[in-house]
Amino acid sequence: MSEVRSHADDVRLRAMLVAADEAALTEAYDRHAPSAYALAARITGDPCCAEDAVQEAFVELWRHPERFDPGAGSLRTWLCMLARRRAIDLVRRQSAQRTHLTRLAGQAPTEPTVEDDVLGAAQAKAVRECVRDLPQLYRDAIALAYYYGLSYRQVAVELGVPEGTAKSRLRGGLRLLAERMEAQGYSLTGQ
């Protein structure tokens, strides 16, 4: 799927969703639920919680489609952001923060079970490879911030390092990942 077509599809789905056209909701679900579910499952480590997070993300989209701005990012990114936030909320309700490092240690990268479009699959593979190639210290800081919603100060506490160290690992890792993806010619709109 080309970036232009992906953007046009997102704008079309947004208009239909605003008009309460249920076909748009099912189309958005069929396209993007696998990304949102994989993300929620990685965060929660629990299929039931992941299902709840995905359901809440799509219901939120259905209730307030106007909040999705196709000019600022793709529908897939938007839905994943909603699912991520719900998943983090569920994890926070259910477990103590001290389990983070344990979870990270056991969180080997999973291989995809469904890849429904060629560009999305290629891009996802590139992301996984870029993450894999990051130094472990950067990966841990990013995982704590992104998958668990921790600030760099909280990351410092979790990792037992000075705040400045946590900040530089987190921001250095984020920057490296962005640079490596862009160096491979990827942009955000094809997601």
Partner 1 sequence: MSGHPDDLLEAYAFGDCADPSVAAHVGSCGACSALVSTAARTAAWLSASHFEAPPIALRSRMLTAARSARAPSISSALDAYAAQVASFGVLLDGLSARDWQAPVTGGRTVAELVSHLAANDARVADDLGLSAPPSVRLSPSARLSPPPGGLLPVAGLSSSPVAGLSSSPVARLEWRDRSDRLLRTVGSRADLLGHPVRLAGRIPVRRPLRDALTQRAFETWIHDSDVREAIALPPVSPPPLHLARIVALGLALLPGAMDSAGRGRPGTTVFVRLTGPGGDSFVVPMSAGPASGGSPVAEIRLPAERFGRLLAGRIPVPASAAEISGDRSAALDLLAVAATLGCE
Positions 107 through 166 that interact with partner 1 (CB under 8 A):
110, 112-116, 120-121, 123-124, 127-128, 130-131, 142, 145-146, 149, 151-153
**Which 53-92 residues touch partner 1, going by CB under 8 A?**
54-55, 58-59, 62-63, 66-74, 76-78, 80-82, 84-85, 88
**Cβ distance to partner 1 smaller for residue 101 or 116:** 116
44 in contact with partner 1 (CB under 8 A): no
Q: Tokens 């894999």 sit at which residue?
A: 132
12 in contact with partner 1 (CB under 8 A): yes
How many whole angstroms separate alpha carbon 44 and alpha carbon 84?
9
Question: Is residue 92 within 8 Å of 49, Cβ to Cβ?
Answer: no
Question: Is residue 127 within 8 Å of 133, Cβ to Cβ?
Answer: no
27 in contact with partner 1 (CB under 8 A): no
Q: How far is the CB of 166 from partner 1 (least distance, A)?
A: 10
Q: Tokens 């921001």 sit at which residue?
A: 171
**Which 90-109 residues touch partner 1, going by CB under 8 A?**
none
51 in contact with partner 1 (CB under 8 A): yes
Question: Is residue 152 within 8 Å of 145, Cβ to Cβ?
Answer: yes
Nearest partner of 78 among 152, 22, 13, judged by Cα: 13
